[in-house]
Amino acid sequence: MTLRPLGRTGLQIAPLVLGGNVFGWTADEKTSFALLDAFVDAGLNAIDTADVYSNWVPGHQGGESETIIGKWLKANPSKREKVMILTKVGMDMGGNRKGLSERWITHAAEDSLRRLQTDRIDLYQSHTPDADTADEESLRAYDRLIQSGKVRAIGASNYNMEQLTRALETSRRLGLPRYESLQPEYNLYHRADFDSGLRELAIREGIGVITYFSLASGFLTGKYRSTADLGKSPRGGGMLKYFNERGNRILAALDEVSARNNAEPAEVALAWLIACEGVTAPIASATNMDQLQSLIRAVQLSLPDDDLALLSEASAPELPQS
């Protein structure tokens, strides 16, 4: 499997990242271990999680996903060198546990390392911008973590063009580590933000791009066709925004390309992302082995140029009426 460089980090990443948001939520520990084993055995090598996963579940406090990954790493010590652990800091975990201050980044990193049962985080990402903390403070905290060997590289998630540009300029001006990756929401349906300058910025700066909600919370799997399908998963309620003319056009294109390539819609949607200029790897999660095998097939699927063009055309954002 061809690996791709992740920014200027020297890290090499497979063209699909396993999303760990489901671990400890819709995938229990036993299932999570099986998924992680199969993922690594397939030659894939990056797992994305966050300290806040999954504090939105009643009774959870955050850290559940990292804890399961840590237990898996402890049970499989030989696999630590085969995988890169990507985690994040900054989302509100309750109390004063949020943001990108030096205090919280330093504390949160130790918490994540403890839960993950590892001595280093391969990519530590600012989960969301913090308007109350200067970029310099955050970057200096990251610099100390990198110098100590606890973090190998840093990335940014949910940063817009202005925020990322400002952070990069701060890194250059002060000689501090820079964000080597960007994690934006990007998929066949949600294209406008990344396509409106962020892609060009990432390419120009040599920044890796790891997309989240790569399957639009499941809409691009094709299993949601009407409001009658909303009960098919815990995320079903978020599908209503996709039930429109453009959403139907995207599904129709996915169906057409899927039939031509003997593939599932989700596999086609991920293969389109993998082929997108400037995208290093999409993130996708699985809660059972059938879903994971589908993710692996997506990596192996090479769509013809005509099919890629059809998907891009069908998913083009609506133009304003003149």
129-165: per-residue pLDDT in tens?
Answer: 999 999 999 999 999 999 999 999 999 999 999 999 9
pLDDT of 237 > 70? The answer is no
Question: Do the beta carbons of residue 262 and residue 268 sit within 8 Å?
Answer: no
And the tokens for 280?
């290093």
Lowest mean pLDDT among 114-118, 222-226, 255-259, 283-287: 222-226
Instruction: Answer yes or no: are the C-beta atoms of 23 and 49 closer than 8 Å.
Output: yes
Percentage of residues in the chain with pLDDT exceeding 90? 89
What is the band of 236 on the pLDDT scale with cuts at 50, 70, 90? low
How is the chain split into domains, by residue range? 11-183
Which whole number is the average pLDDT over 207-217? 96
Lowest mean pLDDT among 27-31, 109-113, 219-223: 219-223
Helix (H, G, I), strand (E, B) or coil at 31: helix
Whole-angstrom Cα Rg for the chain: 19
Is the per-residue pLDDT at 321 higher than 60?
Answer: no
The predicted pLDDT at position 187 comes to: 98
Give the H/E segment covering residue 82: none
Class of domain 11-183: alpha beta
| Cα 19 to Cα 228: distance, rounded to the nearest angstrom | 27
54: preceding bond cis by omega (within 30 degrees)? yes
Q: Using the predicted structure, report yes or no on whether residue 322 has a pLDDT greater than 50.
A: no
Q: Check whether 174 has a pLDDT greater than 90.
A: yes
pLDDT in the model for residue 319 = 46
pLDDT at residue 243, as a whole number: 87
User: What is d(CA 160, CA 222) in angstroms, rounded to the nearest whole number?
Assistant: 29
Residue of 53, 124, 212, 224 marked active site? 53
Select the more confidently predicted residue: 185 or 236.
Answer: 185
Tell me the two tokens of residue 194. Answer: 């990344």
Query: Is-catalytic flag, 179?
Result: no
| DSSP letter (8 states) at residue 63 | -
pLDDT score recorded for residue 73: 98
| Cα gap 106→112, rounded to integer Å | 10
Q: What angle do CA 284, 290, 292 make, to 5 degrees?
A: 30
Confidence of residue 120 (pLDDT cuts 50, 70, 90): very high
